[in-house]
Chain A
Amino acid sequence: MTTSFYLAAAVALASTLMVITRARIIHALLYFIISLFSVSIMFFAAGAPFAAALEVIIYAGAIMVLFLFIIMILNLGAEAAAQERQWLTPGIWLGPSMLALILIADLAFLISRGGGYANGLYAVTVQPKDVGIALYGPYLLGVELASLLLLAGLIGALHLARRNVPEEGEDGTGIN
C-alpha cells in the first residue's frame, strides 16, 4: 500500500506539472483528470475508499466534464495555444517557484520531525457509513451551510438562464 501511495503521489506531481505547462487547454485538462485520479488512488491507499470513489465521481466525472463542456463551446484553437505559449515565459515562473520552494522546505521539515501522521496513515479504513454518520452528526452545520450555498448558486443559474418570455411554449420547454 505504501508503494502504491507514493507511486500515485509521483504521478500526481508529474501530471500537475504537465497541467501548468501545456499550451493547448484540452491537453492540460486531460492531465488534470489524471492528477485527480492519482489523488483518488492516494485516498484509497490511505484507507478512505469512499472519499476515493467520490473524488472520481464528483471531480473527474462531473466537474471536469463541465470544464470540458465550456472549452468545447469556446472553441479555442491553435491561436489560443500560440498566445498561451507567448505568456509562458521563463520569467513568469520565478515568483510561484519561490513560494512553492518555501512550502516544500516546510513540508520537508515537518516530515523530518516524523509527525504523528506517518504511522497512522494506513491504520484504519473509513467505511461509507462512518462518513455519513460524521456528516449528519458533528458536521451537520457544515452540510447545511454548503446546501444553502448550493441553493443560492442554483437560483443564480436559473435567473441567468431564464428567458424573458413570460409564457412557456406548448411543449413546456420555454422555447417558442
Chain B
Amino acid sequence: MSTLQYLILIPGLIFVLMSVASGLIWLERRLLGIWQDRYGPNRVGPFGILQVLADILKVFTKEDWVPPFADKPVFIIAPAIIVVTVLITFAVVPFGPRAGLADLNIGLLFFLAMSSLGVYSVALAGWASDSKYSLLGGLRASAQMISYEVFMGLSLMGVVMLAGSFNLRTIVLAQKHMWNIVPQFLGFIIFMIAGIAETHRLPFDLPEAESELVAGFHSEYSGMKFGMFFLGEYFGITLISAMMTTLFLGGWFGPVLPPIVWFAVKTLAFICFFILLRATLPRPRYDQLMSFGWKAMFPLSLVNLLVTGGLILAGR
C-alpha cells in the first residue's frame, strides 16, 4: 500500500471505530433495558439513537478538573494510554481478505503486547489520583489484568499451533474449512473469560466496583478524561470481539454476504453477548476472581495446550 492509501485508511478506520464505540453507549443501555424489562433511553430521536449525541455533548461540557493533590502529568497521561494501546492494536486486525492496515508476522504477539500495556492506564490512574478508592481500584486492576493475561496468551497457543503462525491473516486462512471454535472450544472459552477480565467489564469490573470503591480507579476523573476511560472500555470490547472473530470464528469467512459484512456481523454478535453477560451475571468477590483465574483457568489452558500439541503430533 502507498503512503497516500495509509493516510486515508488510518483516519477512516479511527472514524469507524469512534462511531462504533459511541454507538455502543446507546446499544448497551437499550439492550440492558430490554433484558431488564424496561425501555432504556428512547426519548431523544428515533428509538433514542440521538442519546449518543446528547451524551457526547454532556461529557464535553462537564468541568475537566484535576485534583490539586494529584500527580498532574501522570494523571493526564493515564486515560490516553488505554485509548492509544487499544486503537494501535486494530492495525493488525484483518477485517477482510484484502482489508487491514498491517500484515505483521507477529500480529498475535503484538495484540498480546498492547493488551498487556493497557494495565498501565488503570494502575497509573489509580496511583496518580492519590485517593484511597482510586489506589485500591488501581491495585485490583493491575493484579487482575496481570493474572488473566497469563492464560489469555496460553489459551491462544493452540490456535497458533493449528495455523503454524503468529500472523493473524494466516490464522484466518487456516480456518477455511473448519473454524477454530470446533477444535479449540476450550481455548475459546478461556480466551473469552480472559478477554472480559482484560477489559474489566462486568462481571469482572472489580477495579471500579461502585458498590464498594465509589468508582475505583477513575473516582477522581471528570469530563472528557473520564470519557476517555469510557471510550477505551468500548474500544476494548470491540477489539476483543474482533479478535475472537479472527481467531476462533473464521474471521471474514462465510457464505453469500461480502467478507467484511461477515466480519462485522460476527463482531457485533460478540459485543451483544458481552452486554448480555453484564445484564445477567452478578459480580464475584475479588478473592474468588483471583482463585478462579489461577486455580481453574490456568490449569485448564495448560491442559488445552498439552492436548492440542499431542493431537497435532499424533495426526502427523
Contact = CB atoms under 8 A, between A and B. Distances in A.
Interface string A40-63: 000000000110111011001110
A127 B74 CA distance: 37
A144 B102 CA distance: 36
Contacts, number: 83
A94 interface: no
A73 B146 contact: no
Nearest to B114: A56
Given A53-B109, A73-B139, A128-B166, A61 B71 contact: no
B116 A72 contact: no
Is chain B's interface secondary structure helix, strand, loop, or mixed overall?
Answer: helix
B62 to A, nearest CB: 27
A66 B146 contact: yes
Nearest to B143: A69
Contact of B112 (A50, A57, A71): A57
A30 interface: yes
B106 A60 contact: no
A49 B116 contact: no
A40 B113 CA distance: 11
Nearest to B138: A72
A30 B78 CA distance: 11
A56 B117 contact: yes
A84 to B, nearest CB: 15
A128 B106 contact: yes
B139 A72 contact: yes
A50 B109 contact: yes
A134 B104 CA distance: 22
A65 B142 contact: yes
A26 B142 CA distance: 15
Interface stretch (A8-16, A112-120, A167-175): A167-175
A30 B139 CA distance: 17
Nearest to A61: B116
Is chain A's interface secondary structure helix, strand, loop, or mixed overall?
Answer: helix
B211 interface: no
With most chain A CB atoms within 10 A of its CB, the pick from B105, B109, B128, B288 is: B109
A69 B113 contact: no
Interface stretch (B43-51, B118-126, B175-183, B265-273): B118-126
A18 interface: no
A69 B147 CA distance: 13
Contacts of A26: 71, 74, 124, 127-128
B274 interface: no
A69 B139 contact: yes
A31 B42 CA distance: 47
A50 B106 CA distance: 7
B63 interface: no
Given A30-B74, A171-B287, A171-B288, A68 B127 contact: yes
A172 B291 contact: yes
A33 interface: yes
B314 to A, nearest CB: 19
Contact of A49 (B106, B143, B146): B106
Nearest to A169: B287
A65 B123 contact: yes
Contacts of B110: 53
A65 B144 CA distance: 12
A126 to B, nearest CB: 11
9 closest A-B pairs by CB: A61-B116, A53-B109, A56-B113, A49-B106, A57-B113, A173-B287, A53-B106, A72-B127, A69-B142
Interface of A: 24, 26-27, 30, 33, 49-50, 52-54, 56-57, 60-62, 65-66, 68-69, 71-73, 127-128, 171-173, 175
Given A49-B105, A72-B142, 10 more contacts: A26-B71, A30-B74, A52-B106, A53-B109, A57-B116, A60-B113, A65-B123, A72-B123, A128-B166, A173-B287
15 contacts: A24-B71, A26-B71, A26-B124, A27-B74, A57-B113, A62-B116, A62-B146, A62-B149, A68-B120, A72-B126, A72-B135, A72-B139, A72-B142, A73-B139, A171-B287
